[in-house]
């Protein structure tokens, strides 16, 4: 059956497009590590394949089981996918299942090698310095064009790299000079909070703008379905993670790939929560997943006598408005903890929502604040300006001692898994202290707390049905927001949280106006209605989503009369 032209084009566009090259790019000595990636790629894939095969050959489980499992899982997946990929590879997997019983040991090993290599190729990214340079110059005016069409002509004429709207909207905070220094001494591993698919784009752009080196990161294969995004992702160092593949062998290849990249000094980005926060809350339980490979990479380097340090950089990405808020919160409530892992039909894939979103946030000052927290060694110790690991009493110690047993560095997966778990706990605390609270979240918290007070003893789902039943006078709300902000400032002065500029400085009435305008201008659902100085909480679900960011602080920002309601909110976490 012939494919329709549209399908052909789409099919071509989702393949990794690469610009043709007449002469190989020769990186300059002070280029970031990633500029060397293409010249190292074959070697990396060879190394990943070799390690995976070796591990399985030395394991107790017979290779036959390993091959059977992966073939079985892949056949099951492809049969349900019924797409081009299925047409291309089902035959291979079915054949493997049929033949594996008759294979000799060396044939099994060769088949395993072939599978690992194919998986590694599928994962591996590409990095094209030319596209990086182009993106650096072109992205700001393009985004400006989307957001403020009126500001575009002179930008396009000059391609000036001056200040663009996007630069006003995206603030970065934290000790960036220190990160630059550490990037030269070791490998940076950024571990940010995750609330939107815009996160990796925003963070990638922020790194570029601040003169920090680009990072490699694993992106869900579902994000590669948009041809434009796919083109940039592929060529800016993203590698593909296919979440549909359930075979254990694939996860193994993925982890090995990530480990090898960090060992070789590629600065990396991982979302330790694994997926976007459905509830809008800060992640409280971090599994770290792939980020754990940074600790393994550190150990492996030490065993080989390479002392390159690894620095985790806890980062919070804070939005006044969240592009996919409506879909995410519905998903959280629907599944109540069993979230659909891959959402393919949310606002991220709808161009009109992008436009609505960007036009709205363009009118908000600092619509997104990225805050880089204090860098940590893989064992949760703070580091000094030169990257030395600091003890609680301020001595500099060798982080290599953590992977030694009886004075010798060792590779010990169970130990490193435990270090990873502990890093997860450390990050939860760092995220809490590095969060920048936005005015939308503060106003939502004040309104939601009133709803909780008005509905004692009702469970969450019961409360969400109280649409339009809680009303508050504007000046009462302003007073409450003002008091909450005072308490937040107090917390901020003690280093327990941060506030966005508007939340910190704007007077309460301005704050409320801006928040309502932002909500009404972007969200399809009406969150609040104002009539005659009376404000009605129209959509408790959206209020819940935005206020969820304050769950860890609920008791600390509550006055005497709000304590019981604040406790109920705190228990959501």
Partner 1 sequence: MSTPIGVIGGGGFGVGLARAIARNGRTATLWSRRDGEVGERIEPTRDIAALGRCELIFVSVPSMHVAKVAEQLGRHLDGRHLLVHVSRGLVGEELRTVSRVLRELTPARRVGCLAGPISAKSIAEGVPGGGIVGTGFPEVADALREAIAGPTLRLYQTEDVVGVEVSAALVGLLALAIGYAQEMGINPAALAILATRGMVETARIGVSLGADDRTFAGVAGYGDLIAAVAGDERPELELGRALGRGLTLQQAGEHAGAYIEGVTIARRVQRHAMRRGIEVPIIEALADALDGKLTPTGVIERLMSRRSKRE
Note the residues at the interface with partner 1 (CB under 8 A): 379-381, 389, 391-393, 395, 397-407, 412, 414-415, 417-419, 421-422, 555, 567-568, 570-571
Q: How far is the CB of 311 from partner 1 (least distance, A)?
A: 16
CA distance linking residue 24 with residue 205, whole number of Å:
26
Q: How far is the CB of 380 from partner 1 (least distance, A)?
A: 7
Q: How far is the CB of 468 from partner 1 (least distance, A)?
A: 28
**Helices then strands (H, E): number in the chain?**
23, 16
Angle (nearest 5°) at CA 269 between 267 and 272: 140
Q: How far is the CB of 408 from partner 1 (least distance, A)?
A: 11
Q: How many CB atoms lie within 10 A of CB 305?
A: 7
Which residues contact residue 521 at a Cβ distance below 8 angstroms, ignoring those fewer than 6 apart? 359, 360, 363
Nearer to partner 1 (CB atom), residue 289 or residue 409? 409
Nearer to partner 1 (CB atom), residue 491 or residue 529? 491
Report residue 9: phi and psi, to 5°.
-60, -45
Give the N- to C-terminal CA distance of the chain in Å, as an integer.
53
Tokens of 95: 């054949």
Which DSSP string do the residues of 112-144 spell out, in sequence order? Answer: HHHHHHHHHHHH---B-HHHHHHHHHHHHHHHH
Are 436 and 371 in contact by the 8 Å Cβ rule? The answer is yes
Nearer to partner 1 (CB atom), residue 218 or residue 552? 552
Q: How far is the CB of 414 from partner 1 (least distance, A)?
A: 5
Which residues contact residue 200 at a Cβ distance below 8 angstroms, ignoring those fewer than 6 apart? 217, 219, 238, 269
Q: How far is the CB of 427 from partner 1 (least distance, A)?
A: 14
Nearer to partner 1 (CB atom), residue 144 or residue 389? 389
Q: How far is the CB of 456 from partner 1 (least distance, A)?
A: 13
Nearer to partner 1 (CB atom), residue 494 or residue 567? 567
Are 191 and 291 in contact by the 8 Å Cβ rule? The answer is yes
Nearer to partner 1 (CB atom), residue 406 or residue 524? 406
Q: How far is the CB of 392 from partner 1 (least distance, A)?
A: 6
Nearer to partner 1 (CB atom), residue 97 or residue 570? 570
Nearer to partner 1 (CB atom), residue 533 or residue 561? 561
CA distance linking residue 482 with residue 506, whole number of Å:
10
Q: How far is the CB of 546 from partner 1 (least distance, A)?
A: 24
CA distance linking residue 387 with residue 6, whole number of Å:
52
Q: At what angle do helices 129-147 and 351-361 cross, to 10 degrees?
A: 70
Report residue 230: phi and psi, to 5°.
-60, -45
Nearer to partner 1 (CB atom), residue 201 or residue 428? 428
The β-bridge relationship of strands 389-390 and 396-397 is antiparallel
């Amino acid at each position: 059956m012939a494919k329709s032209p549209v399908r052909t084009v789409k099919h071509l566009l989702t393949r990794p497009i690469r610009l043709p090259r007449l002469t190989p790019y020769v990186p300059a000595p002070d280029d970031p590590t990633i500029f060397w990636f293409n010249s190292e790629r074959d070697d990396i894939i060879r190394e990943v394949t070799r390690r995976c095969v070796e591990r399985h050959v030395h394991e107790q489980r017979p290779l036959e089981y390993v091959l059977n499992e992966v073939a079985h899982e892949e056949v099951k997946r492809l049969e349900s996918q019924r797409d081009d990929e299925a047409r291309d590879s089902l035959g291979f997997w079915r054949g493997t299942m049929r033949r594996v019983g008759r294979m000799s040991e060396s044939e099994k090993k060769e088949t395993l090698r072939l599978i690992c290599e194919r998986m590694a190729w599928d994962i591996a990214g590409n990095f094209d310095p030319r596209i990086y340079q182009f993106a650096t110059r072109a992205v700001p005016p393009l985004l400006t064009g989307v957001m403020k069409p009126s500001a575009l002509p002179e930008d396009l004429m000059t391609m000036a790299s001056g200040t663009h709207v996007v630069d006003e909207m995206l603030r970065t905070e934290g000790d960036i000079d220190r990160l630059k220094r550490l990037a030269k001494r070791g490998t940076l591993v950024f571990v940010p909070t995750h609330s939107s698919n815009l996160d990796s784009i925003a963070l990638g752009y922020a790194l570029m703008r601040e003169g920090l080196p680009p990072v490699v990161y694993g992106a869900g294969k579902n994000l590669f379905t948009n041809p434009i995004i796919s083109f940039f992702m592929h060529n800016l160092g993203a590698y593909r993670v296919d979440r549909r593949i359930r075979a254990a062998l694939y996860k193994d290849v993925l982890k090995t790939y990530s480990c090898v990249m960090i060992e070789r000094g590629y600065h990396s980005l991982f979302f330790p929560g694994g997926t976007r926060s459905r509830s809008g809350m800060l992640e409280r339980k971090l599994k770290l997943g792939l980020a754990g490979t940074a600790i393994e990479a550190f150990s492996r380097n030490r065993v080989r006598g390479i002392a390159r340090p690894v620095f985790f950089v806890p980062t919070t990405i804070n939005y006044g408005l969240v592009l996919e808020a409506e879909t995410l919160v519905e998903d959280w409530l629907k599944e109540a903890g069993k979230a659909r892992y891959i959402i393919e039909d949310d606002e991220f894939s709808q161009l009109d929502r992008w436009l609505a979103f960007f036009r709205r946030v363009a009118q908000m000052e600092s619509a997104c604040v990225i805050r880089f927290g204090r860098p940590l060694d893989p064992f949760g110790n703070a580091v000094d300006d030169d990257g030395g690991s600091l003890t609680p009493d301020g001595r500099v110690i060798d982080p290599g001692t953590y992977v030694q047993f009886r004075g010798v560095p060792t590779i010990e997966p169970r130990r490193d898994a435990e270090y990873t778990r502990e890093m997860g706990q450390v990050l939860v605390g760092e995220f809490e202290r590095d969060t920048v609270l936005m005015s939308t979240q503060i106003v939502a918290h004040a309104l939601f707390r009133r709803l909780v007070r008005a509905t004692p003893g009702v469970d969450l789902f019961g409360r969400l049905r109280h649409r339009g039943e809680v009303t508050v006078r504007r000046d009462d709300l302003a007073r409450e927001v003002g008091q909450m902000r005072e308490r937040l400032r107090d917390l901020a002065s003690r280093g327990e949280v941060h506030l966005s500029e508007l939340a910190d400085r704007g007077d309460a009435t301005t704050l409320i106006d801006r928040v309502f305008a932002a909500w009404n201008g972007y969200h399809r659902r009406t969150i609040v209605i104002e009539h005659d100085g009376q404000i009605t909480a129209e959509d408790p679900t959206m209020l819940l989503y935005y206020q969820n960011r304050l769950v860890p602080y609920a008791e600390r920002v509550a006055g005497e009369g709000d304590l019981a309601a604040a406790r109920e909110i705190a228990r959501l976490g």
